[in-house]
Structure 1
């Protein structure tokens, strides 16, 4: 007998460590870690006689949990908020969508995100939390506690800036309604850096479960002092640094105008393209940018649902991989992707690679997509040595897919069927560190129906309080539509928007 907590996962089909094929194997999990993987030969029980609890995985495909490389929990209450926002419209509305709210609503918003993600097979995530205009430590810790209560691993950063959208995007200066917004005062760089330093130094959680990070939101929205200060803080404390990079054409153009080179080249010149840095979107990047990202050891998150929802364009993930960059996958927030469904993000990543003018043999393979969604995501959130693959010594962060579902019947190519055919309802069980976080659609320890009812009550108050600020943002957004439409039509290479008409 042993004092170790032992669980034997028996009878399942197991995704290989490289996510390329499926093994007939059983797993021995000890204290939440995969201790041994043994093949089943001629149906024999490879752990016969070994003490431990048993989990029957027959008719299940056992795979690593998805890792969401980029989301925003403060938007968990904002699904469906807009029909025709671009990224810039979303940023114009940022002061009210990220406005001060109660600690309870902050926590509930994160719980909504966590429960939706775990139902889609997600076990870890990177959350960039925004609170306009400054950092609220109590609310930030409440967000972390929401992930703890659901049992997900999370890396969390307060998303910060000290330059307004109107400073970062000079083309908006012609919009008359923008004058009050241009007068907004954001916190000073020194104050932001000090607040982030306090969060990191007083962080109360196990960093293998919940880790702090820093997030200068968009380079052009940050002063040199803020970029350099947060980069230095990241290096000195060993926390991740996460940024949005070249997400839209207006952002890419404005960045190049400010820096005299691409945003990626500017970050490289500053020494900010390095291991420990994660960038999201990277839509408006060229081959030279891709090579810089790869050479720096940066983790790049593709966010296809948001990129299409906001009309930002299509990331060329194949070009990034060919350059040697590491790829992860994210959902973004509910205000720009609406449904926080990691399976949907995975499947969109595969499909988007098919619409570039390359031969079919150069589309992203199912194995590449799954590695990006698991091991690649783990690297992007700073947990690459702990999770993201089914290998001995890695955490038992696992998803059990129902092989009796229509998507897997018959089981022709199970790896491909996750990427092309599976549905969120095919996720039967989700395990994090050997602990069941969701089973049969039920999230352990969370009354999801009651949670949603309470969210609806609190959101009535929140939207009522935001009514004036929301209306003002709407006026600015309306005034900016023609300017932003013109920015989207200006030439830029490589072009990431499909032409409006055929020749």
Structure 2
């Protein structure tokens, strides 16, 4: 890559420590994918490809700090189910054959296309394949993202505990036949996964020039053995990789910590010695005040997923408590079945709005600066990419999004940062650059044949729906037992009330 671009006098949200989300006029020079100069004005050089900044808002690309590309095939199938019930149907545990690499490639391309067209330049893709991820399946994701031009952390999501053991009170709720079926489901061996993860960390160490990285994806504390979590922590430290884990997403999980470990999930992870700056906790809703202090002290990050948390009725994360304690926050869409979108603009707007209804003190409500920081630099830091992307600064890679401010979303033109948070839905995006390469031009993806991807997936739609219908029918047999388990959980006392977002003790 030898192209040199001069972005000439654009309105820029640098998201750096100097000007943050305050609009400033800047010129930006990009060479070999790196931002090499940022100034009020720069003189064009003979080799510059000049991109006019007139009527353009230029910002660092969004970092989707938590998503699951698996769910792209389950978009708009399910509604009005809590997480544990929804997982039975979106990640069915009974009777599921592995997906072929060609379908995984198409699925990943779909996620990349929708992301790029919405200004997402980095994905944290916690790729969960059921019943277990193979090397060919992982390679298909890397290849799809390589070709699309997007930046990504890509996981080998893993759980090594039997499914029925993930939940308190479930054993008593299951009839004997269903328990036998669940016990017969193959579980990944921890030592096999650790070998797989080490090999993947080495294999993808400099893949696509470092634009794509492997990350560790232990599913959740209650789904992984202590030995597996310790082994994953060691690999993450050795290769400086993100350790991405679901923690305290639901009230069920708050009860699980007390029932399984006699402590909160955060306290349990801390006792295992695996909480540190490489850890990103997806969700982090049902945390106590002391949990927040521990996370801040260990410099762990939290990925906030407001749309998914709303759709699944999971609760409201303590946004202000996290920020006041100094916990790094990113924002994610979660998967396209739990949120039905890969568009970070929706997640950013939801984050800005959701926390305004948790209390009357408007001085505590999220600001545009805060949500945009979480959607860019905060997500980059959680992904171990804080020195690489997330702001417009010299030395960082050129992952940039250009918005046309002559669009409906920016008319009349008032405060660009507020337009971006509350009005813009991706329709104003003119150009997207990742690693200094233009991958969206005039609002169209240039790196992938978008029409061909959509046409092939639509053509395979009847086949996919038959497959999904069969799986859903099979796994719905488990729902009555989960209803009974859910009732037992709801009868237990927990320390906080995150349905309101306030956090007071809830006695039921």
Q: TM-score, normalization: structure 1? A: 0.93
Deviation per residue, 1:398-439 (Å, 9 max, x gap): 111121122222222111221112122122211111211112
Deviation per residue, 1:161-199 (Å, 9 max, x gap): 011332020222213374222442312211221222222
Deviation per residue, 1:349-408 (Å, 9 max, x gap): 111121112510111111111111111111111211010001111111111112112222
What is the deviation of 1:478? Answer: 3.9
Q: 2:489 aligns with which of 487, 490, 493?
A: 487
The 3-state SS of whatever aligns with 1:85 is coil
CA–CA separation in structure 1 for the residues paired with 2:209 and 2:68: 19
What is the deviation of 1:15? Answer: 0.9
Q: Which residue of 2 aligns with 1:393?
A: 395
CA contact 2:93–2:185 (8 Å) conserved in 1: no
Q: Which residue of 1 aligns with 2:345?
A: 343
Q: Which residue of 1 aligns with 2:504?
A: none
CA contact 1:135–1:195 (8 Å) conserved in 2: no
Q: Which residue of 1 aligns with 2:185?
A: 184
CA–CA separation in structure 1 for the residues paired with 2:410 and 2:453: 32
CA–CA separation in structure 1 for the residues paired with 2:266 and 2:108: 31
Q: 2:67 aligns with which of 53, 67, 71?
A: 71
What is the deviation of 1:458? Answer: 3.2
Superposition map of 1:295-374 within 5 A? 295-374=297-376
CA–CA separation in structure 1 for the residues paired with 2:143 and 2:395: 27
The 3-state SS of whatever aligns with 1:382 is coil
Superposition map of 1:38-49 within 5 A? 38-40=39-41, 46-48=42-44
What is the deviation of 1:156? Answer: 0.7
CA–CA separation in structure 2 for the residues paired with 1:265 and 1:185: 29
CA–CA separation in structure 1 for the residues paired with 2:97 and 2:83: 18
CA RMSD of aligned residues (A): 2.0
CA–CA separation in structure 1 for the residues paired with 2:194 and 2:480: 34
CA contact 1:92–1:165 (8 Å) conserved in 2: no
Do residues 12 (structure 1) and 13 (structure 2) align?
Answer: no
Inter-CA distance 80–237: structure 2 relative to 1 (3 Å threshold): same
Q: Which residue of 1 aligns with 2:506?
A: none
CA–CA separation in structure 1 for the residues paired with 2:443 and 2:483: 42
CA contact 1:77–1:459 (8 Å) conserved in 2: no
What is the deviation of 1:467? Answer: 4.3
Q: Which residue of 1 aligns with 2:479?
A: 477
Superposition map of 1:98-113 within 5 A? 99-113=97-111
- Structure 1 window deviating more from structure 2 (377-386 vs 487-496): it is 487-496
CA–CA separation in structure 1 for the residues paired with 2:200 and 2:76: 32
Deviation per residue, 1:83-142 (Å, 9 max, x gap): 122110132232369741111100111111110111110000111111122221111111
Q: Which residue of 2 aligns with 1:43?
A: none
Do residues 82 (structure 1) and 75 (structure 2) align?
Answer: no
CA–CA separation in structure 2 for the residues paired with 1:57 and 1:181: 58
CA contact 2:168–2:485 (8 Å) conserved in 1: no
Superposition map of 1:133-148 within 5 A? 133-148=131-146
CA–CA separation in structure 1 for the residues paired with 2:222 and 2:8: 52
Q: Which structure 1 segments of 5+ residues have no match?
A: 41-45
Q: Which residue of 2 aligns with 1:175?
A: 174
CA–CA separation in structure 1 for the residues paired with 2:209 and 2:241: 10
CA–CA separation in structure 2 for the residues paired with 1:289 and 1:273: 11
Q: Which residue of 2 aligns with 1:118?
A: 116
Inter-CA distance 181–469: structure 2 relative to 1 (3 Å threshold): farther
Q: Which residue of 1 aligns with 2:56?
A: 60
Q: 1:402 aligns with which of 404, 413, 418?
A: 404
What is the deviation of 1:236? Answer: 2.2
CA contact 1:96–1:466 (8 Å) conserved in 2: no
CA–CA separation in structure 2 for the residues paired with 1:99 and 1:12: 50
What is the deviation of 1:475? Answer: 1.7
CA contact 1:95–1:133 (8 Å) conserved in 2: no
CA contact 2:333–2:343 (8 Å) conserved in 1: yes
CA contact 2:168–2:259 (8 Å) conserved in 1: no
CA–CA separation in structure 2 for the residues paired with 1:215 and 1:49: 45
